[in-house]
Structure 1
């Protein structure tokens, strides 16, 4: 039996409603995943989809992005959905860039908007790719 897909969810403030809508739309699939999320994003998704099991970390500006980066480096994340707001300056932009860098270094799928998140979830007949060996 395959282990659950380990997915991280992050959304900038102006994209949290989009993440909630995405989670509602894909709640059946997400229910089969081990999900970690930054604090506020995780709470918003849980409020909308209370049947999901989500481990909430700190909020992004308080270290949540770095916590997810550490999980990537430890091989404990299979994919990241990060709804980025490109029009609002982020005081913790350095942390965001570090998280993106780690996803690239460790070859972790990183969806930065709804369109790429759809591709991630719909690949292989509705299941995200799990072609990487367990780390």
Structure 2
């Protein structure tokens, strides 16, 4: 089983990677992260040398690069943790939220459709899902 995990250098994504590698040591894990303010490569230090782990610095909005990775690695599952999530940052630059949270998500879903990926998990922010009525 090959899993692409986006946003895996962030707090939640990296902990998911650690969990998956411990629970499923025979799975191949590919972490795709742009390494923005939320991602820190040193977070992944415990798994960087593992033979079944690969880190790829990439923007999920880069359709050509994402398609190339999917074609090369033929993943079975995609888990998307990549998202802009700091509300105060969205006030300063709302376009980056649209790019990552909407366009990037669309690129990943299009790649899943194009390459026949049977399972896609979206873990994101209200900028993708919208707010919850109370």
> TM-score per shorter chain, which class?
0.5 to 0.7
CA distance in 2, matches of 1:24, 1:110: 19
State the Cα distance separating 1:103 from its structure 2 match.
0.7
- State the TM-score, normalizing by the size of structure 2: 0.56
Residue matched to 1:55: 54
Q: Which runs of 4+ in 1 moved over 4 A?
A: none
Change (3 A) 1:25 1:57: closer
Change (3 A) 1:73 1:23: closer
Q: CA RMSD in A?
A: 3.5
Structure 2 stretches lacking a partner, 5+ long: 91-96, 125-134
Of the three residues 27, 33, 40, the one matched with 1:33 is 27
State the Cα distance separating 1:100 from its structure 2 match.
1.3
Change (3 A) 1:73 1:113: same
Deviation string 1:50-104 (CA, Å, 9 cap, x unpaired) is: 56442222331684x6433323245721111111437561435534412211213
- How many matched pairs? 107
Of the three residues 50, 56, 69, the one matched with 1:71 is 69
Counterpart secondary structure, 1:28:
helix
Residue matched to 2:108: 99
CA distance in 2, matches of 1:60, 1:103: 16
- State the TM-score, normalizing by the size of structure 1: 0.56
Counterpart secondary structure, 1:26:
helix
